[in-house]
Amino acid sequence: MLNGLKGHWFMKSLALVLLCALVLPRIHGANNTLGAVSKIYIGSMGQSDEAERFRILLDTELTKAGFTTVDAPEKADGILTGALAVRVYADESIARVTVVLKTPDGRHLWDKDFQPHAHLGRIDTVKLRAQDVAKALRKEIGKAVKGK
């Protein structure tokens, strides 16, 4: 009888260990998906004054889009970096930005290139690119959440 009880408990324990081995990586891995990103650290977007201004504008636009921006990469679900290019002409300026979102451990989650698009009148194209990035990221994360 005692051997039967030991065998029963051993089998239950083994089943629990196997279940944990299968389930825990999936739970942990869920935090490394695009759909799990809500706190974003905005990293370098270039070395120019306009790149620094873009970071500030992007912080505002990401907040408006429902994200929380954080002041350190370790506090973030995602780290957003990129490169901003601004061309200035006599009557207008054109901004283009390419961004990459990665997990804090460096896993690629999302990237996109935002090219200038048609607009009427004088417009702050750097601010427009910040709005484009925030909207596109919110849309992609929404798709990722629905796809779960």
Distance, CA of 60 to chain centre:
15
53-74 pLDDT, tens digit per residue, is 999 999 999 999 999 999 999 9
- Measuring CA to CA, how many Å separate 117 from each of 23, 96, 123, 139? 46, 10, 11, 19
Residue 10 above 80 pLDDT? no
Structure tokens at 92: 């207008």
| Residue 21 or 105, more confident | 105
Question: What does residue 147 show for φ and ψ, rounded to 5 degrees?
Answer: -75, -10
Residue 85 above 70 pLDDT? yes
Q: Tell which CATH architecture fits domain 34-146.
A: 2-Layer Sandwich (3.30)
Q: Are 81 and 54 within 8 A, CB to CB?
A: no
101-113 pLDDT, tens digit per residue, is 999 999 999 999 9
